[in-house]
């Protein structure tokens, strides 16, 4: 009988329980079925912060300019990079690699090596129907030097995906 008389003491418990349930449902609906886009080897990157800082200082000293061009015909995409030094002379790199990362689904990242097409011009292809914002991280190597850079571009989705997205 006293529980019925003091039934209002359960109101805070019920409200707290509802708040926790709504919060859990909100988090689950945001996360389930949507990749989180985790950075691979992030712990190693954090542990090697000093080398990251050294690389940024080298990038500043080299002061190379990378001019990207991205073309798309639906799923098939091509990327070309013109690499020049601070005096606008073409950089003859020995190896150029690009990591192509769709921001909305980072687990579908691709790493491609770009072969040399002309003096300081490198180009390659990758396939992806995903549209939206993409991040491109590049690594350029020449004579034992490594230059890194990153840029973002908006790519249109493939026609087949446009109706589903």
Q: How confident is the model at residue 76 (pLDDT cuts 50, 70, 90)?
A: very high
Q: Which of 5-9, 137-141, 159-163 has the lowest mean pLDDT?
A: 159-163
- Cα separation, 102 vs 109, in Å, equals 6
Check: pTM over 0.85? Answer yes or no: no
- Find all residues with CB under 8 Å of 89, minimum gap 6, and list them: 120
Phi-psi region of 37 (alpha: psi -120 to 50; beta: other; left: phi over 0): left
β-pair type (110-113, 145-155): unpaired
- Cα separation, 48 vs 162, in Å, equals 41
In this prediction, residues 140-151 reach a mean pLDDT of 95
CA neighbours within 13 Å on the CB side: how many for 77?
Answer: 23
In this prediction, residues 53-68 reach a mean pLDDT of 94
């Amino acid at each position: 009988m006293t529980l019925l008389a003091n039934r209002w003491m359960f109101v805070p418990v019920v409200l707290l329980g509802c708040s926790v349930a709504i919060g859990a449902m909100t988090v689950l609906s945001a996360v389930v079925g949507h990749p989180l886009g985790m950075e691979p080897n992030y712990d190693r990157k954090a542990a090697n912060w000093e080398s990251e800082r050294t690389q940024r200082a080298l990038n500043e000293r080299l002061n190379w300019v990378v001019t990207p061009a991205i073309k798309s015909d639906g799923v098939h995409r091509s990327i070309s990079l013109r690499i020049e030094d601070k005096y606008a002379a073409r950089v003859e790199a020995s190896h150029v690699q690009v990591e192509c990362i769709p921001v909305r689904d980072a687990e579908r990242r691709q790493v491609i090596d770009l072969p040399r097409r002309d003096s300081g011009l490198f180009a390659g292809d990758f396939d992806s129907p995903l549209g939206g914002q993409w991040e491109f991280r590049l690594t350029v190597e020449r004579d034992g030097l490594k230059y890194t850079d990153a840029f973002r571009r908006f790519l249109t989705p493939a026609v087949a995906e446009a109706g589903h997205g």
